[in-house]
Structure 1
Amino acid sequence: MTGETNNPQNVTIAKTKVSGYLWWAPYGTTLPTDSNTELDPAFKLGGFVGEDGVTNTTETETTEVKDMGGNTVMKMISSYAESYQFVLIEALRAESAKIRYGSDAVEGKDGQLTIKHKMPSGEALSIVIEVIMTGEKKDRIVIGNASRSEFGDRQFHSTDVVGYDVTMAANADTRLGDGVTSIEYIGIAAAAKTASVDTQEDQA
């Protein structure tokens, strides 16, 4: 025994920052390397995220090694993929639309937009997500090489907000480390508000 005990102060929920919590920039933009340094000016605010927050999903495939008698003697993970899903609910914000449709598909300014619906170009982005954990600790997630992988349906009616449901694949980026798909920095933050953000991991 080590003498250590469980600590409830390490149990946390996630809240949103007052100033925002999801930014994007063109791939190649300088990435933050801690939780506190200001973001490069190329990062643009993506606007409000819907009440279900951000869902972080991992997918793995396992290879089994058998002996000559058919007995499994080893299991190993043979592939790994990670993604982040969220719903952007500022449908009139230009930067939200660019995350969904591509920077080359959106023209105009907030509230006065022309959006070309077309096949995604494969454009690579960098995305930063920030939430506040218990004790005002800031959790900054950096996705260095993100690409659009899935889109949810959009509904237009009077009982629900219009939003952009986007899943971004987190691709390996050598700037973060060999084989690293995203990197997470936890530090100290100054201010938060009480809207919750649910970050889930679905381990296959």
Structure 2
Amino acid sequence: MAGDTDNPRLWEGADLYVAPVGTTAPTDIATPLAAAWKAAGLLSEDGASESRDQDSTDHYAWGGVLIRTTRSKHKRTITVTCLEDNLVVFDLVNPGSTASTTGGVTTRTVKVPKNNPKGFLLELRDGDVTMRRAIPKGEVESVGEVTLSDSELTAYELTITIYPSADGTLYVDITDDPQAEVPVTP
């Protein structure tokens, strides 16, 4: 069997952090996050999933020989389910809405959603291995159906659209995973 059984990752823990666009993202896995990064709280055990969508067009020469494929309209999303109804999640689910607390009673005024781009950071852990995925700019595109029940947890499935930066960067992964190391060339 080729390969190394220590290489596959089973992310045993994860956190999703949210900050205003332009907040300095981490450049390593050890430095504590800046205060602007706020945790979304507990996440579903289902983990996060990444989806890709793009258009492609095949171009053929005379005689039906494929000579090129062009790609356009690339879209990348990450879906994660939040299990807490805290202020961070409320802001992601109801952008443009407000909440205030007086005398221990909180009032939430939910309004028609507004555009609300944010910076996102997904931190994953597998034993001693950590990976931070820093997304400079993204936005909650959709919120799944929310169940209010006595038999199921209230959960907020968020699909986050990732917007590329001017140079085309979607996100930056920072990890101490030995299998991700790039060999040094002399």
TM-score normalised by structure 2 residue count = 0.84
> What number of residue pairs does the alignment pair up?
174
Deviation of residue 55 (structure 1)?
1.0
State the AA in 2 paired with 1:156: L
How many angstroms apart in 1 are the aligned matches of 2:109 and 2:66?
A: 52
Q: Give the Cα–Cα distance (whole angstroms) in 2 for the partners of residues 97 and 75 of structure 1.
A: 42
8 A Cα contact 2:40 2:89, kept in partner: yes
Q: Please name the residue that 2:28 is paired with.
A: 34
Paired AA for residue 124 in structure 2: V
- Once residues 105 and 81 of structure 2 are traced to their aligned partners in structure 1, the CA distance between those partners, rounded to angstroms, is 21
Tell me the amino acid that sits aligned with residue 81 of structure 2.
V
RMSD of aligned residue pairs (Cα, Å): 2.0
Match of 1:11 in 2: 8
The alignment status of 1:77 with 2:74, answered yes or no, reads no
Tell me by how many angstroms 1:95 deviates: 1.6
CA distance in 2, matches of 1:112, 1:24: 25
Structure possessing the higher radius of gyration over alpha carbons: 2
Deviation, structure 1 residue 106: 3.2
8 Å CA contact 1:139, 1:186 repeated in 2:
yes
Distance 1:77 1:47, change over 3 A: same
- Alpha-carbon offset, residue 8 of structure 1: 1.7
Query: What percentage of aligned pairs have identical amino acids?
Result: 21
- Secondary structure of the residue aligned to 1:165 is strand
Q: Work out whether 1:126 is the aligned partner of 2:119.
A: yes
Taking structure 1 as the reference length, the TM-score comes to 0.77
Unaligned runs of 5+ in 2: 178-186
Higher relative contact order (CA 8 A, sep 6+): 1
Partner of 2:158: 166
